[in-house]
Amino acid sequence: MRIIVISDTHGRYRALSSVVLANMNADAFIHLGDGEEDFLRLIDDFPSVAPKFHYIKGNCDYGSQRPEFLTLDLAPGHRIFATHGHRYGVNYGNVGILDKAKEFGCDIILHGHTHVRCNTYEDGIYILNPGSAAIPRDGFPPSYGFVDITPAGVVTNIVAIR
């Protein structure tokens, strides 16, 4: 199973659509917030993608009725905690978000908010922040991430958008 993880498009629809178009064969897409208008436009433009797309609201998605986090059981034996991250202190470390993921029995954390890429494994949990698909703050190109879940295990990675 391949899950494409996108965050922080902030009105840059082309950033979102280019990632989705390059990964149409993915099993699922998760947008981690701050780009709800981009997401809604994408679903209008590509309705076939809608059933495999999940959206979590970010701190800049004013008035959004989307959830602030999701727990997703997309592959047997793995549970994903997906959130924008601002409610869990991700600017200052992973303690808060790790505690929340453990509360829900998750072994994969996906978050955005910082616009800074992070791909790590901590305390038995994979943590992936794909960075920003539009406005990175870490000196690297815009990016997205993916999670591959296979019988052999979990692989997480970050991909630069060129």
Give residue for tokens 């902030």: 10
pLDDT in tens, 95-133: 999 999 999 999 999 999 999 999 999 999 999 999 999
Residue 7 pLDDT level (bands cut at 50, 70, 90): very high
pLDDT reading at 78 higher than 90:
yes
Determine what percent of the chain is predicted with pLDDT higher than 90. Answer: 99
Region 131-159 average pLDDT: 97
Q: Retrieve residue 142's tokens.
A: 């815009």
- For the chain, give every domain's residue range: 2-160
Region 136-148 average pLDDT: 98
pTM for the whole thing?
A: 0.97
Determine what percent of the chain is predicted with pLDDT higher than 70. Answer: 100
Determine whether 33 is exposed, middle or buried from the number of CB atoms within 10 Å of its CB (0-12, 13-18, 19+): buried
Give the pLDDT of residue 162.
84
Q: Do residues 32 and 85 touch, judged by C-beta distance below 8 A?
A: yes
Write down the mean pLDDT value for the chain: 97
Q: Do residues 142 and 161 touch, judged by C-beta distance below 8 A?
A: yes
pLDDT reading at 65 higher than 90:
yes
Give the pLDDT of residue 88.
97
pLDDT in tens, 10-45: 999 999 999 999 999 999 999 999 999 999 999 999
Helices 36-45 and 13-22 cross at an angle (nearest 10°) of: 50
Using DSSP, state whether 28 is helix, strand or coil.
Answer: strand
Q: Do residues 26 and 159 touch, judged by C-beta distance below 8 A?
A: no
Give the pLDDT of residue 54.
98
Q: Which CATH class for the 2-160 domain? A: alpha beta
Closest of 52, 29, 25, 44 to residue 133, by C-alpha: 29
